[in-house]
Amino acid sequence: MVKKMEKKYIPLESFFAEAAQNEVILTYTAIENIVGQPLPNAAYLNSSWWKKTKPPATHFLAWMNADYTIKEIDLGRSVTFIKETDEINVGQSSSANPENILIIRPVDLDDARAIIHLQQDIDTESDFMLFGKDERKMSVQSIRKRIGEWKKSDNSRMFVGILNGEFAGFAALVTGPSPRASHRASIVVGVRKAYYGKSVGTSLMTKAEAWAHEVGISRLELTVIENNEPALALYKKLGYNVEGTRNNSLLINGDYINELYMAKNIQKATT
């Protein structure tokens, strides 16, 4: 039975809606990553918080709407959820570990430290980002300020991809600097190497485009290093076209590298 639930737990509800296992174990950290906010103190101190099944609290609907109940609680560490079913479906996984459940949500203030680690890892793992290892200067305060600006903006946003409770990638959209350029947005996407081949980049791009459509953005732009063949293939698959070359635009490991300008015109949202 679906009931109205606290807004902050909607991403957790989406996670369980995608879960196929009869039993799922999530750490507290994974749950907080999915939700984007810390769990309340009661969740750390009292097992009863997890076992609630009646209002006024409605957090339990995040898993109960998908027919999961609480099996076991290791306070402060992990929670085991089990699916209520009279019969086990043939072929249904019995593994306790989530299997590639990806949640895409807007970044929140409490994500600041995780965003720093995410971007640092991506910069270290790839030579295809604007910044290299240890070149990007970030602090929790500066990232929180930027996230606050995104949350207040009507046409700029950052999304994070949470795969099985772990930060896997991000997509940032920033609109033009003037009213005449407000219909276009630049998009930057990054994915941790451990999550390559799991559709994280595709899902982030798709979510960003859907949101851009909703807010009336009609043109998306990006740049990609000329020899970044996997990214170039992905962008072309998603409908982006090469519009020009920026010769010798980056200096990476002592070599001058060309960037390609790519763009996609999307139908402007109707009112």
Shared domain check, 238 and 110: yes
Residue 89 covered by a domain: no
Q: Are residues 109 and 162 in the same domain?
A: yes
177 and 259, same domain (yes or no): yes
Residue 11 lies in a domain: yes
Number of domains in the chain: 2
Distance CA(9)–CA(124), nearest Å, equals 32
Look at residue 98 in the predicted model and tell me its pLDDT. 61
In this prediction the pTM is 0.86
Q: What CA–CA distance (Å, rounded) separates 207 from 106?
A: 10
Residue 170 lies in a domain: yes
Q: Are residues 63 and 129 both part of a single domain?
A: no
Kindly state whether residues 65 and 113 are assigned to the same domain.
no
Give a yes or no: residue 182 inside a domain: yes
17 and 68 housed in the same domain? yes
Residue 94 resides in a domain:
no
Q: List the chain pLDDT tens, one digit each, 271 residues.
A: 445 778 899 999 999 999 988 999 999 999 999 999 999 999 999 999 999 988 888 999 999 999 999 999 999 999 999 998 744 444 454 455 667 899 999 999 999 999 999 999 998 888 888 887 888 888 999 999 999 999 889 889 999 999 999 999 999 999 988 889 999 999 999 999 999 999 999 999 999 999 999 999 999 999 999 999 999 999 999 999 999 999 999 998 889 999 999 999 997 544 4
pLDDT reported for residue 93: 47
Judgement on whether residues 158 and 76 belong to the same structural domain of the protein? no
**Residue 134: which region, alpha, beta or left (left: phi > 0; alpha: psi -120 to 50)?**
left
**Residue (of 247, 141, 126, 245) closest to 188 by Cα position:** 126
Looking at residue 253, its pLDDT comes to 86
Instruction: Find the helix or strand (DSSP H, E) in which 36 lies.
Output: none
Tokens at residue 259, please? 């960037």
Domain range for 152: 102-265
Model pLDDT, residue 135: 82
